[in-house]
Every structure is written in structure tokens, then in C-alpha cells.
Chain A
Amino acid sequence: MRQESIPFVNLGIQFERFQNEIIEKFKQISSAGHYILGAEVEAFEHEFAEYCQAKFALGVANGADALFLVMKALGVGAGDEVITAPNSFLASAGAIVATGARATFCDVAEDYNLDPEKLAAAITPKTKGVMPVHLTGLPADMGPILEVANKHGLFVLEDCAQAVGARYKGKRIGAIGTAGAFSLHPLKNLHVHGDGGAITTNDEKLYQKLKLLRNHGLKNRDECEIWGYNSRLDAIQAAIARIKLRHLDEMTTRYQTIADNYWRGLKGVVRVPDRPDFAEGVYHNFVIQVERRPQLQEYLSSKGIETKIHYPIPIHLQQPARKWGHQEGDFPVAERQVTKILSLPIYPELTDEQVSRVISEIRFFYEAT
């Protein structure tokens, strides 16, 4: 019997669930003609700030812009350095370079996040800040990171692109450091139907500056206080984010349940993710480490199970970073992980049966071959 395939993502079924609400909202917005900023965006910002336990939130065009704008607002520019993780998505380093600064890296620990013990050694006199990435949806160990950062007078910008709703020692990520940058890209746990992003912070001055920067630096219609950018969350996307935010906790619980099933089902067969005491992850990705990865991936694919690698080439070994003199061996933990990591399908609509099937196929692969 040919089994039904299990795609890595399935946005269609999530839409079916929210279809009526979303279409209704679209109608409202297009019949009122309010497409830029305005009430929907403000309401989203208010609700998102509350959700993230932050004083302020600001909707922006995408997650990369969220990182970029915060650093611009903090005065990062040419000659500066910002430290981030070499195993993140490219946008983390790209946003640093976009400010004119240079991205520098600190190796990660077994939980895929910045290794606080190696952080101090990565700091130079040019370092202005640290950008820990809550990769896969698991919070980085913020306590020791903040300690090192504070000691050196560095800002801490949390890259929360994959981690909306995650908690570090009981507190939501996003305003634990100086600010948090979120992505609402269609593949994220909280997502919209195009590009979108958000920034969270408790710092009112920073918030006010960011508000100027995302909208041409305009303090009113006719006066430009600082030369800024155009990076706004579309009103229709804000409306979609609001609909989904109301269901986020429930969706997160489902992500966690699936992760827990994978974890128990695969423990001892492959390397399952760390579950440090300080963190409550939201499993944007469920990443395992495996032997014979290409063969496993091919086997699963032959069974209709789609898997991905996030990401096969660490940032410091990407073409433009090699120009800074990086080479293999610079960040051994990240480099070792990238040869073994594999992301399994995980989304709220994935059924228990589908999860069991993924588990048994992986078990079968290692037991039978």
C-alpha cells in the first residue's frame, strides 16, 4: 500500500482553519482602504508586546529588517563588530553587514545556541553588541550571555526569528536583552501571508527611534528628523498576525507535544535535541543529529517523508565570509553539527499517526540497515 506523503511544511491546511476569519478581515481592510500602518498595525503591536511580556512592540517589513533597524537605532555602523552564531540563517549576519559593521562569530554549544563560555574570547575593542539566536525555537542561555555583555558594555539583540513564545527561565524571549527581532515569514510558528517582522523592547527611547526609522524618519507628515528607511508591517499582514496570535499558545503546545513524541521515540536511535532546564523551546524546527545523513534522507524521501537541513553551510564558510579570512576549523562545534543535523516535519496540523510513522521509519532505517 502506498502511504500518504508527509511534506515538510503544509501551509494550506492551516489556512483552511483560519480561512473565513482571514477573508473577512481582508474585506474589512480593503473596503476601508487602510493599507499602511494605522489601527490594525497598532493593535497587533499592542497585543504582541503583551504576549512577549515586553513594554513595546513595533511591526516592520521582515525579520532581517527587524535586526537591522535595532542595530541602526543603537548606532551600529562602519568599524563596529557584532557577535552572532555561525549556524544561524544568513540574515543574522546579513543584517549586521547591512549596518556597515562586521559580523563576528562565537561557536555554539550542543544546544545549537551561542556558547556563553566562549563569548568573552570573541569580544574585541570594536565589539558593540551580541546577537544570540534562539535557534530552532530554543532560547539561548541568556543569563550568562547578559552577564558577559553587561561587563563589556555591549547591547544584546535577541534574534527571535524562530522562537516566538519561547521562555527563558519562565520569561518570554524578546525583551530579556536590549531588544528582540522577530520574523513573521510564512514558515515561522507565527506567520503572515508574505514578509513581516516585529521588534520588542522595554526601552522607550529605543522604541521611539525605531518608530522614526521604519517610516522615513518622519516626526510628522512634513518634517524628517533623521534619514530613515521604509520598513513597515503591511496592515493586512498585521491583521493576519492578530488572528493567529490568538491561537499561538495552543499551536505552540502542539509543536511541543510533537517534539516530545519525536524526542521519546527517537532517543537512543539518533541524537535528539538538548532540553536544558532554563529553556522552554517552541520547536520551530525539530533538529536531530544522525549518522549516514544522505542515506537516511533519501530513505525517508522514498517513504514520502520530507526532511530539510537548517543549514548545511555555516555562515563563516559562506563565500562572503571567507573574504574575512575564515576557514574550516574556526568554529568546530558548529561545523561538526552541520554535517549531521536533519530537521523533521513539525507543524500543528501534523497528526500523531504521521509523527509515529516518521519515528518508525527512522528506527527501521537504523535497525534494518
Chain B
Amino acid sequence: MEVLNFLPNQYRETGALEINHNYLIEQFADYPLIFKKIEKLIQVGDYTLGAEVNRFESRFAEIVGTKFALGVGSGTDALFLSLRALDLQPGDEVITTPYTFYATIGAIVTAGGRPVFVDVKEDYNIDPKKIEAAITPKTKAILPVHWSGNPCDMDEITALAEKYRLPIVEDSCHGIMAKYKGRGLGSFGFGCFSMHPLKNLNVWGDGGVICTNDEGTYKKLSLLRNHGLINRDQCEVWAYNSRLDTLQAIVANHLLDKIAHITDARIENAQYYDQALGSISGIKVPPRSPDKKAVYHIYVIQAERRNELQDHLVKSGVDAKVHYPIPMHLQPAAKPWGYKVGDFPRAESICNSVISLPVHEFITPEQRTFVVERVKEFYS
């Protein structure tokens, strides 16, 4: 069985594994049901936006707990369009974390902004105590990343945002169904979600969502995703094409029925890992908080001799991955900004030691026991 990742060439290497990160074949085992709905759509020929997208948007808004949700082309576009809605000017700064996926930074740069990095805490998320020192007159937004689906410290971040009158753009791409003190991630400002095939709620290609409680923002974003058109013939602002495909909305609607189960199963697997791995010397499980409902898009821990552990696991048939080995400020693309090793020590040490274990809803109790045994065996 081949394994999918976002780059086609590297998953071939891990093609023979028993316990995979990828679970798409299992997840879409009922694809004939989805085909039935797609066939109907195709016969009507209504491929762009329309009823199925509207239905998805209202259901998604309800899950997150916002007034509005808007389907867009991808999680990257969700971030980009949100920042565009803030009308960033060249030189404007956006505060974010160096421990994230490239798209967070790409979106800021595309929107004309300059990312300003703040180091992370032990839970891999932005350290609210360090944000204030990074705020300048040019700061236009705070962009926390809920890494792995684990909520950031939103009370502290919200307090700062209010104090400095800065909007919050949440990178919730990993965090559908996650909650902070009972409140849905993605409801604190602009909530940006991805439905890439490897996400907890996933479609058959690229797709994303933006959530907001503000009607004006919602209207602006609606224009920005569809060429700025207020009707077929009139353009109000120069804009983009970034729509959630109607066909993908069908897939998303199908999965929304299952998202509670998907989430619970991931949490159960993660809790098992936490308990079983927490006592192993050599493994560091990040701190968990009762205030935070994490949804484990990936299950990330820190490991001594990480690369060797990864080799050991892969050889044993466990698709262990590293998300990701190089922080953003040390990427080749960040060179012009002049960062150096040591600028964000926590993010750097995390990148050197994190490892991700398969945690999706199709992992069986036997499989997760097997994974734990292989980790124990490595450190014994």
C-alpha cells in the first residue's frame, strides 16, 4: 500500500509500512456513497459554489461556533485571504511562530507582510509572554498556530490583542473540533482551516475554510474569494479566485457526519500514547491542560536520538515522521531576514527532537501497543 504525503516522491520510500500516517483508503472505504451525491451534482452541472457549499459553510460555522464560515481553495488561502482582508501594507508585521508549516509564512509574505517570529513554549505553541516584546507600531496582527490541533493560550493572546487593538488570525489548520475553555478554535478572530487530504476533516484535493463572527469581514472575504464580484458583471475590489470546489463540499459534508467520531478516536489514541510513553526515559510528552481539548491532527512528542528512533520505527513498520526538522527562521527562504541559529532556542530544540506517531482513527489498540513496544525496545 502506498502512502500519501504532500510530496509525491518521498512517500514511496515508506510504501511497505504496516502502521501508516495515511488513512485515506480506510476513511473513504464508503466512497460509493459519495459518488452517488457527486453524480447528482454533475448532472445538474453546478460546479462553482452553490447549495452544497452553502450547506457545508453553515454546518461548519455551527461546529466552530461562529456566525459565518466561508469555503476557500486551501488552508493557505484561508490564511492569505484573512490577511488580505486586513489590508496589510508592505512592511507591516505579523507576529507568529517559527515552529509551523511553510504555508503560515508563505501566506503572510504573499499578503505583503513580514513575519515576526516569537519563540514557542514547551507545548510547541507560541509563548504569549514573549509576544508583547515583539509588538511594534508596524504590527498588524497576531497569528497563533494551534500546532498539531493543540490550542494556544488564547486568554493571554486575546488580552494582548485587545490591549494593542490587534486582530487575531488563528492558524487552525490542524485544529478542527479543538476547544479552548469550551470555545471552538477558529472563533477568536479569523479562524483558518485546511481540509487537505491529511487533515482530520479532509476532502479529495485542496480545500479550506475561514470562520468569523463579523459580518463585514465575512462580506469582504466573500468578495475576495470570487474575483471581487458583487454580481455576475460588477467588480467591487480586485481579488482572487479561491473557492472551495462544490464537489469537495460534498465530500466535506459527508465527513462532517463523522467528525465527532474521528476526533474522539484520535484523542483516545493520543491519551493511550501519553500514558504509555510518558514514563519512558528518553521521551518527553508535551504538557497537557484540562482547559484545552486537543484533537491530534498529528501526535508529536520529543525524543532523544530522534533520527535513530525514527529509523528504528520505520524498520519495524511504523510510519514515524518528523513535522518538521527545520524551523521557519532557518529556512533558505528566510535568509534575507538575517535570522541565525540561537534566535529561537526552544523552536530549534523542538525541531531537533520531535517525532510524530500514527494517531488517526483507524489505528487499532493492537497497533498502538505495537508502536509503544517498539519505542520501549529502542530505549531499553
Which residues does chain B contribute within 8 Å of A26, judged by CB atoms? 31, 35, 38
Which residues does chain B contribute within 8 Å of A35, judged by CB atoms? 4, 24, 197, 203-205
Shortest CB-to-CB span from A93 to chain B, Å, is 7
Interface membership of B253, Cβ < 8 A = no
Which residues does chain A contribute within 8 Å of B235, judged by CB atoms? 90, 94, 315, 318-320
Report the number of A-B residue pairs with Cβ-Cβ less than 8 Å.
Answer: 204
B39–A23 touching, CB < 8 Å: yes
Interface membership of B248, Cβ < 8 A = yes
Which residues does chain A contribute within 8 Å of B332, judged by CB atoms? 219, 223-225
Size of chain B's interface in residues, with CB distance under 8 A? 69
| A90 with B31, Cβ < 8 A, contacts A12-B43, A237-B205 known | no
Interface membership of A364, Cβ < 8 A = no
B110–A31 touching, CB < 8 Å: no
**A9 to B76 Cα, complex, angstroms:** 32
Select which of B4, B43, B112, B205 is within 8 A of A33 by beta carbon: B4
Q: What residue of chain B has the Cβ atom nearest to residue A96's Cβ?
A: B238
Select which of B106, B236, B331 is within 8 A of A320 by beta carbon: B236
B25–A31 touching, CB < 8 Å: yes
| A312 with B205, Cβ < 8 A, contacts A218-B7, A224-B332 known | no
**A312 to B35 Cα, complex, angstroms:** 38
A218–B227 touching, CB < 8 Å: no
**A320 to B229 Cα, complex, angstroms:** 11
**A97 to B204 Cα, complex, angstroms:** 30
A194–B247 touching, CB < 8 Å: yes
Select which of B7, B38, B238, B328 is within 8 A of A98 by beta carbon: B238
Which residues does chain B contribute within 8 Å of A27, judged by CB atoms? 31, 35
Select which of B42, B109, B197 is within 8 A of A193 by beta carbon: B42
Which residues does chain B contribute within 8 Å of A215, judged by CB atoms? 6-7
Which residues does chain A contribute within 8 Å of B240, judged by CB atoms? 64, 68, 94, 98
Interface membership of A195, Cβ < 8 A = yes
Give 1 or 0 for each of A36-68: 1 = CB within 8 Å of chain B CB: 111100100000000000000000011111001
A-contacting residues of B (Cβ < 8 Å)?
A: 2, 4-8, 10, 22, 24-25, 28, 31, 34-35, 38-39, 42-45, 47-48, 73-77, 80, 90, 101-103, 105-106, 109-110, 112, 196-197, 203-206, 227-229, 233-243, 245-248, 322, 324-326, 328, 331-333
What are 18 A-B interface contacts by the 8 Å CB criterion?
Answer: A12-B44, A26-B35, A30-B24, A37-B8, A61-B206, A68-B240, A94-B227, A94-B239, A97-B238, A193-B247, A218-B7, A221-B7, A224-B328, A229-B76, A231-B73, A234-B204, A237-B205, A319-B235
Minimum-distance CB pairs A-B, first 7? A234-B205, A194-B245, A11-B45, A33-B24, A230-B76, A97-B238, A64-B241
B-contacting residues of A (Cβ < 8 Å)?
A: 9-12, 15-16, 19, 22-23, 26-27, 29-39, 42, 61-65, 68, 78, 89-91, 93-94, 97-98, 100, 185-186, 193-195, 215-232, 234-237, 309, 311-313, 315, 318-320
10 new A-B contacts at CB < 8 Å, known A32-B2, A61-B206: A35-B203, A36-B8, A61-B241, A193-B47, A195-B48, A216-B101, A224-B105, A224-B106, A229-B110, A319-B236
